[in-house]
Amino acid sequence: MTSMKTSKQKGTEPSLNKKMVEGEDVPFGPPPVEYNYRCSHCQYEMKVNEAIIDVEIAIAEFEGRNVRGFMPVLGCPHCNREAMKFAAD
């Protein structure tokens, strides 16, 4: 049988007085870094999320390639070739 008494515990609502810091989303944290990539064939440019770069670096480590200072070459969605290279602008 359930009790009809009211609970004395605090509510689960977040405090309304707490100030949010810009760039800090709860629970996700700051937005990801995006890197500028350019296709060497068709000159198409796009920003690539850091998660994609991290996966490519992990694959290179798994295959035993030297990854110090490594920025992977990606496939271009415009001309469909493996020609997207990091463009340090």
Q: Where are the domains of the chain?
A: 34-86
In 10 A of CB 44, how many CB atoms?
15
CB 48 within 8 A of CB 34: yes
Residue that wins the pLDDT comparison between 26 and 36 = 36
Tell me the pTM.
Answer: 0.64
- pLDDT (tens digit, 9 = 90+) per residue, 41-82? 999 999 999 999 999 999 999 998 888 888 999 999 999 999
